[in-house]
Amino acid sequence: MTITDKRQTLIDDLTTLPDLEERFMYLMDQAKKWPAMNSALKSEERLLPGCVSRLWLYPEFRDGRCWFAMDAEAMISKGVAAVVCGFYQGEKPEDILANEPDFLAEAGLTQVLSANRSSALANLRKRIRAYAEACEAGAVIEADEARV
């Protein structure tokens, strides 16, 4: 599935949900489906700022593509991060850089997030973008084995 297909699928999934409660349930489901992050990877440098609950991101570069392990203490935060990380999961750095997660606003999701969760979302995107830029610049060494 291309990143464009992923985007459209997420918009379709989110816009068919009739109300705020259903959208939060969708986020909770995404959080539950996302694999737990290895606790050894949950370090201070992998914590994202701007979230009341702790949110960790561990990016990895394999076979010319970016992969993300992620975990959070709060289910809504983890759900939002799962949607964003899932959108970028397995994509080439140039595709990550060319595609903003604007579908979240289009689908009415960002409008229902608290200020802290919106800040965490922005910080998550910044961290993913910076990682993709580093990969594209050749500043990241590809991983030998999959951890994600």
Q: Which residues pair with 56 in a beta bridge?
A: 47, 71
> In this predicted structure, what is the pLDDT of residue 49?
83
Residue 35: burial class (beta carbons within 10 Å; 0-12, 13-18, 19+): exposed
Q: In this predicted model, what pLDDT tens digit does every residue of 82-139 receive, in sequence order?
A: 999 999 999 999 999 999 988 888 887 887 787 778 888 889 999 999 999 999 999 9
Measuring CA to CA, which residue among 50, 63, 74 is closest to residue 127? 50
Per DSSP, which regions of the chain are E strands? 55-62, 65-72
Residue 63: pLDDT band (50, 70, 90) is very high
| CATH hierarchy code of domain 3-34+47-136 | 3.90.1010.10
Measuring CA to CA, which residue among 48, 45, 41 is closest to residue 80? 48
What is the widest separation between alpha-carbon atoms in the chain? 44
Question: Domain residues of the chain, as ranges?
Answer: 3-34+47-136
Other beta carbons less than 10 A from residue 68's beta carbon: 25
HEC string for 101-113: CCHHHHCCCHHHC
Amino acid at 119: S
Q: Which residues pair with 61 in a beta bridge?
A: 66
Q: Give the separation between CA 61 and CA 144, rounded to whole angstroms.
A: 9
Amino acid at 66: C
Tell me if the pTM is above 0.85: yes
